[in-house]
Structure 1
Amino acid sequence: MRFLTTLTATVLILVSVVGCDGVDDPRHLGGTGVAVPGLPSTPPMGWNSWNSFGCGINESMIRAQADALVSSGMAAAGYRYVVVDDCWYTPARDSNGRLQADPTRFPSGMAALGAYLHSRGLLFGIYAGASDRTCAQLAGTYPGTTGSAGHETTDAQTFASWGVDYLKYDWCSTSGDQQESRFTAMRDALRATGRSIVYSINANSGRGTVLPGARDDWGSVATMSRITNDISATWTSGQGADGYQGVYDIVRAAAPMTQRAGPGRFIDPDMLEIGVGGALTAAQQRSHLALWAMMAAPLIAGNDLTTMDSTTRQVLTNPGVIAIDQDPLVSAASRSSTDPDIWTRKLADGGQAIAVVNPTTATRTAPVDLGALGLRDATVTDVWTGRMVTVTDGRVDTDIAAGDTLLLRTR
C-alpha cells in the first residue's frame, strides 16, 4: 500500500470513501434523534468479558475484573461499564417468562452483581440476543433458546429492575428480514422503562458479505451500532467480509461511515483487542486506540484486567488519546481523499487531531505540512507523550514505526 510522503494539498479535501454496498446512500432507520435519552453525549467506555473469556464467565471472575478496573486506574480514566457478555443465563426462562441468571455461574444473581458494580463506582452491562437464541445458542456452544425476540418488554423491565446500565444486543441469525422491527422493539422497550440504558446493537453477525450495519444508518435505533464483522486480535485477518476482521481491516471498512457519529449516537467498530493475545505489536495496539479515538468510537476493552501489564495499561489510559475520543464536539475524523492513512478530526477547542497511520512493516518518514491544513502557526502536541512538537517552516518531520500511528493535536 502506498504510504504518505507529505501532507500537502492532499489533506485540503477530506471525504468519506465508499467501501461497501450502499454506504454512500444509507437508509436512516428509527426516526430522528438519539435512541435512548438521558445518556452522555460522548462515547461509552468500559470493559466486556467476551474477547478474553467467551462463555467461561462467572460471578467471582466478573467481580475480580471490576476490582481490577478500579485498582488499575482504568475506571478513573473513564472505563466504567462492565459488560457481562453471552452465557450468563439459564437455558430456559422461569415460569413467568423471565430470564434467569445461571445459579452455578452467578449464584448471587444479576441484581446483586449490578449492586456490587455500582458500589465500586462502575456501571452494569449485560448481553441478550435479538432473535430466538443468543449467538452461543445459535452456534451450539451453549444450551437453550432464551433470545429476546417476542420478550422485549419483559426483558427490558427485567434488566432495568437489575440496575442494568448497558445492553449489548446481538443478531446472530442468517435471516435479516425482521432486523429493523426487532431492534426497534427493544429500543422502545428500553425507553419505556424510564432508565437510561446504553443500547448497543450488532446487526451483522451471520449476515455474510453485505452487512446491514454498514448499509444502513442505525443511529436513531441504537446508542451504538456495529458497522463491521467481529474483530480479531490481528492487524489484518486475510479473510473475506463474512469472517473476522483485523484492526486495520476494520479501519478501512469504517472510513465511509465515520460521519454517522454524533452526540449520543456512535458507530461501533467493535471492542478493543489491546492486551488480548500476542498477535498485535505494541505499535499496532497504539494505532488501535488512536484510530478508535479518531472515529469517536466507544472504547470497550476486552483484555484480562487482572493480568494486564503496564504497557497495556499505559496505552489504554493515555489521557491525550482518551481526550480526543471523548471530545464534546463528537465530530468523527474524515479520511483523506487521496491517502487512506491520513485522518483529521475537528475538536471542540477549535483545534484539530491529525492521525497518520503507517500500516507497513518498515519505519517511514512523514513530513506533515501544517500550512496545507491552514495551521501554519498552530501549536502542536504529540498526543502520546504530551510534549510540544517542533515545527519548522510550517512542517513537522517525524518517523513513524511500523504499524504505529502519529497522533498530533493542534491549537
Structure 2
Amino acid sequence: MSTGRRRRPAHRWVLAASLALCTTTFALPANSAEPAPAPPAADGLALTPPMGFNNWNSTHCAEDFNEKLVRDIADIFVSHGLKEAGYTYVNLDDCWALPDRAPNGDLVPDPVRFPHGIKAVADYVHAKGLKFGIYSSAGTKTCHPDGFPGALGHEQRDANLFASWGVDYLKYDNCNNQGVNAVERYTKMRDALKATGRPIVFSICEWGVNKPWEWGKGVGHLWRTTIDISDSWASMLSILKQNMVRADHAGPGHWNDPDMLEVGNGGMTDTEYRTHFSLWSMMAAPLLIGADLRKVTPETFEILGNKDVIAVDQDPLGVQGRPIRSAGGLHVFVKPLAGGDKAVALFNENDTPARIDTTAAEVGLPASAGYKLRDLWAHTDAHTTGAISAVVPAHGTTMYRIGADRHWFQYPPALDAAAEVELSYSGALPVVAPDTPVAYTTTLGNSGGAPVHSVRAKLIAPPTWSVRPTSDVETTALRENERFRTTWEVSAPPGTPPGRYPVSATFEYVNPQTGAPATLTNVAEAVVPEVPHTGTQYLSDVSWLRTTNGWGPVEVDHTNGARAPGDGGPLTLRGVYYAKGLGTHALSSVEYFTGGACSEVRALVGVDDGKTGSVTFEVWADGDRVYDSGTLTVADPARQLVADVTGAKAIRLVATDAGDGIQNDHADWADLTLTC
C-alpha cells in the first residue's frame, strides 16, 4: 500500500514522469563487464528474492480478507504446486487489526476477520511448510483511510508481538510518518526485529521517495522503488522503467522491489501478464502473487508456476538483469546466471509485433562454435551459432536461457517464424479492410549451424478469406543464418465484421536431428476495421482502431473523468456544451481507419472547463503530422481545428501534455467530424 491510492494528483505526476521514460534510449557496450554480486546480508535471509502471496492487490480491505482466505491460499500453494515452485510466504496486508490498541498497548487482530487470532493463522501456514507475513506502517497509523495503528513509537512492542505470533516477514509502509526521517524510522524497526531473536524478512515500503536503494542495504532485505502498481499495462510499464535502472543496488539479501504481481487480476491480457512475470524475474524482483488464487484461470497458474522463468528470478548469483539495448519500444534485457549462462528477454512494448535480434556476443557470452538456447515459455531446447531472434507479439516478451555447450549440435537448429502484413506506416496496425487485398510475407529464419530441409510455407487465415501465394512456398534447404520468405495476397470478403482475426504462418520441415517431419507456427492477427461511410459523420459514432489515454479511458460524447469508464461529465468549452465529441486526457491517441477515402477532420478543441492543464492537439495522417494546435490552456478560447487527411489509410488524434506533465490535462474534441 501507499499514498499512491489516496493522493491522486501526486500519483498522476509520477505517472507522467514515468511515461516520459518510455522514449528514453538505453545502451551499453556490447561486452561491458557485468557487476560482481554484492555480499549477502549478514543474517542470511532473502538470499534470493522472496516469493509468496500478498492479498492487497485483489482484496484490499474487502470482507473476504480474513483467515479463511489465508488458509485457502496456503492450501492452494500446496495443491497447485506453487510451494514446490518456490513460493514460500503467505502475507497479510492492511486492515488485519482493530482501529485501537489494547489497554496494554498491543495491537489487536480484528475478531471478525481473524476470530482465532493471528498466531493460529500463522500456525496453519507453518504446518503447510510455508512462512507467514504481516503488515504495519512506519507511522502513527497505517495507510488505510480508517487509520489502523502504525508502529511509530511502538517498534519494540510490535516486533515482540509479531515474533510471538510466528511472523516471518514484515511489510512496513510509510503513511502518517509525522515527518520523521525515513532512515531513522526504518532502522529503528530493523533493530526491534533483530532484538526479538526471530529471523524476520524486513520489506521497506516507502515507495522510493527517499531513494531507499541508496541506504536500504543493511536496513531491510528489500525496498520498494516505486509507487503502488495497478492492474494495467500502463502502470506495469511505468514501474518497469523506473526499476530497471536500479540494478547496481540489488543482490543477495537486498533487493529492489517494483511491487507485487498483478498476474491473474484481469486487467491485462495473458501476453501482458507473461511480460510482467518475465521482466520481474529478469530484474530479480520479489515474486509476490497479488491475485486471489481461488478465482484465477488455469492460464494464471501456468504463468505463475513457470519453473524455467522462476529459476531466472531465483538464480543464486543474485544479479539484477538490465537492458543492454532499448530503443523505439524494443528492448533486450540480459541477466547473468550462476554457471555462466545468460537469461535474455526480448521485450516489445509496442502495439504491433516486431522482430528483435541480438547475439551471444552482445549479451556477453564467450565465443563458441554453438550455444544451447532454451525458450523459457515454450520449454523447448535448440542450438544457435550466435544469433538470437524472435518476432515478439505486441506487449509480449520472448525469454531465453543461453550458454555455451560443447554438445550444442545435439539440439535442433533455432528457428523463428513470422507472418507480417505490409503496413501503411511504421507502427501501424495490421489492417485488412474488407474486399481490399493486402500483401503478407511469411518468414522462416534459421539461426542454427545445420540446414533444415524440405521446407513448405502456409498462411492460414479465417476460412472465408482469400489467400494466394505470390512467390515460392517451398525450398529444398534452408541453410544456417538464412531466411525463407514467401509473399501472399490476402483479402477479407465484403461484409466481414470489424474485429481481430488470427492469421498464422505455419512451416513444415524435416528435423535434421531426427529426420522426422516437424512444424513451426507463428500466430499473428489481422485487424478488420469499420469502413467509413461516404459524407460527413461524427467520429464519436465510428469504431476506433485503438486508443491510449493518460488517465482513465477515452470517453465518447463526454469529457474524460477519472479512472472508471463512463464517469465523465458533459463536454464543455468556455461555457458551451457540445453533445458530440471525445473526451481524452494527455498523453492520448485515438486512431481510426480511413482507407485513403477521406479528406478532412474538423473539431473545436480545448481544455475542458474547470480543469487547469495545458494541452497540444495534433492530427496525424498515417506517419505525418498534419495539424498542431500549439499549447492550449483553460484560459484559451476553443480552437477551430481543420486538418487535411486526403489519401491517408489511418488517422490519429493525439493530445500531448505540452511538455509540463499530464496533471489535469483533460482534452476535449468537440463536434469532431470526418468527411469521406
Q: Same fold (TM over 0.5)?
A: yes
Q: Which residue of 2 aligns with 1:12?
A: 31
Q: Which residue of 2 aligns with 1:25?
A: none
Q: Which residue of 2 aligns with 1:318?
A: 306
The 2-side partners of 1:215 and 1:270 are apart by: 14
Which of 143, 155, 159 is residue 156 of structure 1 equivalent to? 159
| Equivalent position amino acid for 1:201 in 2 | I
Are 1:408 and 2:400 matched, yes or no?
yes
Shift of residue 358 of structure 1? 0.3
Q: Which has the higher strand share?
A: 2
Which of 355, 363, 366 is residue 365 of structure 1 equivalent to? 355
Cα gap change, 1:368/1:337 in structure 2, threshold over 3 Å: closer, same or farther? closer
Shift of residue 251 of structure 1? 1.1
Identity over the aligned pairs, expressed in percent?
A: 39
Preserved CA contact (<8 Å) 1:15 1:335 = no
The 2-side partners of 1:407 and 1:311 are apart by: 18
Superimposed CA distance per residue, residues 285-337 of structure 1 (whole angstroms, 9 cap, x where no aligned partner): 11111111111111000001111211000100101100000000001112226
Cα gap change, 1:283/1:14 in structure 2, threshold over 3 Å: closer, same or farther? farther
The 1-side partners of 2:40 and 2:190 are apart by: 11
The 2-side partners of 1:410 and 1:55 are apart by: 44
Preserved CA contact (<8 Å) 1:34 1:220 = no
Q: Structure 1, unaligned stretches of length 5 or more?
A: 17-31, 205-209, 237-245
Q: Secondary structure, in 3 states, of the residue corresponding to 2:256?
A: strand
Preserved CA contact (<8 Å) 1:358 1:401 = yes
Q: Which residue of 1 aligns with 2:50?
A: 44
Preserved CA contact (<8 Å) 2:355 2:390 = yes
| Equivalent position amino acid for 1:387 in 2 | T
Superimposed CA distance per residue, residues 95-114 of structure 1 (whole angstroms, 9 cap, x where no aligned partner): 21111111111110001111
Shift of residue 275 of structure 1? 0.3
Q: Which residue of 1 aligns with 2:128?
A: 120
Preserved CA contact (<8 Å) 1:83 1:125 = yes
| Equivalent position amino acid for 1:409 in 2 | R
Q: Secondary structure, in 3 states, of the residue corresponding to 1:389?
A: strand
Choose 115-124 or 36-45, whichever is displaced more: 36-45
Equivalent residues in 2 for 1:257-336, closer than 5 Å? 257-276=246-265, 278-336=266-324
Preserved CA contact (<8 Å) 1:126 1:168 = yes
Preserved CA contact (<8 Å) 1:36 1:223 = no
Equivalent residues in 2 for 1:178-193, closer than 5 Å? 178-193=181-196
Are 1:233 and 2:231 matched, yes or no?
yes
Q: Which residue of 1 aligns with 2:536?
A: none
Preserved CA contact (<8 Å) 1:363 1:401 = yes
Preserved CA contact (<8 Å) 1:34 1:223 = no
Q: Secondary structure, in 3 states, of the residue corresponding to 1:398?
A: strand
The 2-side partners of 1:174 and 1:360 are apart by: 40
Choose 34-43 or 249-258, whichever is displaced more: 34-43
Q: Structure 2, unaligned stretches of length 5 or more?
A: 1-21, 404-676
Superimposed CA distance per residue, residues 253-296 of structure 1 (whole angstroms, 9 cap, x where no aligned partner): 112212211111111000000001x2211111111111111111
Q: Secondary structure, in 3 states, of the residue corresponding to 1:66?
A: helix
Equivalent residues in 2 for 1:69-108, closer than 5 Å? 69-108=77-116
Q: Secondary structure, in 3 states, of the residue corresponding to 2:233?
A: coil
| Equivalent position amino acid for 1:299 in 2 | L
The 2-side partners of 1:330 and 1:15 are apart by: 12
Q: Which residue of 2 aligns with 1:386?
A: 379
Superimposed CA distance per residue, residues 196-230 of structure 1 (whole angstroms, 9 cap, x where no aligned partner): 101001112xxxxx821467341221111000010
Preserved CA contact (<8 Å) 1:42 1:327 = yes
Shift of residue 62 of structure 1? 1.8
Q: Which residue of 2 aligns with 1:344?
A: 334
Shift of residue 370 of structure 1? 2.1
Preserved CA contact (<8 Å) 2:73 2:293 = yes
- RMSD of the TM alignment (CA)? 2.4
Preserved CA contact (<8 Å) 1:381 1:409 = yes
| Equivalent position amino acid for 1:191 in 2 | K
The structure with higher relative contact order (CA 8 Å, sep 6+) is 1
Cα gap change, 1:337/1:402 in structure 2, threshold over 3 Å: closer, same or farther? closer
Q: Which residue of 1 aligns with 2:436?
A: none
TM-score, normalized by length of structure 2? 0.52
Cα gap change, 1:174/1:190 in structure 2, threshold over 3 Å: closer, same or farther? closer
The 2-side partners of 1:225 and 1:269 are apart by: 8
Preserved CA contact (<8 Å) 2:142 2:176 = no
Q: Which has the higher helix share?
A: 1
The 1-side partners of 2:294 and 2:211 are apart by: 33
The 1-side partners of 2:388 and 2:283 are apart by: 23
Cα gap change, 1:309/1:332 in structure 2, threshold over 3 Å: closer, same or farther? same
Q: Which residue of 1 aligns with 2:528?
A: none
The 2-side partners of 1:330 and 1:186 are apart by: 26
Are 1:221 and 2:195 matched, yes or no?
no
Which of 344, 362, 365 is residue 354 of structure 1 equivalent to? 344
| Equivalent position amino acid for 2:90 in 1 | V
Q: Secondary structure, in 3 states, of the residue corresponding to 1:292?
A: helix
Shift of residue 390 of structure 1? 4.5
Are 1:253 and 2:251 matched, yes or no?
no
Q: Secondary structure, in 3 states, of the residue corresponding to 1:388?
A: strand
TM-score, normalized by length of structure 1? 0.85
The 2-side partners of 1:258 and 1:273 are apart by: 22
Shift of residue 235 of structure 1? 1.1
Preserved CA contact (<8 Å) 2:358 2:387 = yes
Are 1:59 and 2:59 matched, yes or no?
no
The 1-side partners of 2:359 and 2:44 are apart by: 42
Q: How many residues align?
A: 372
The 2-side partners of 1:192 and 1:217 are apart by: 21
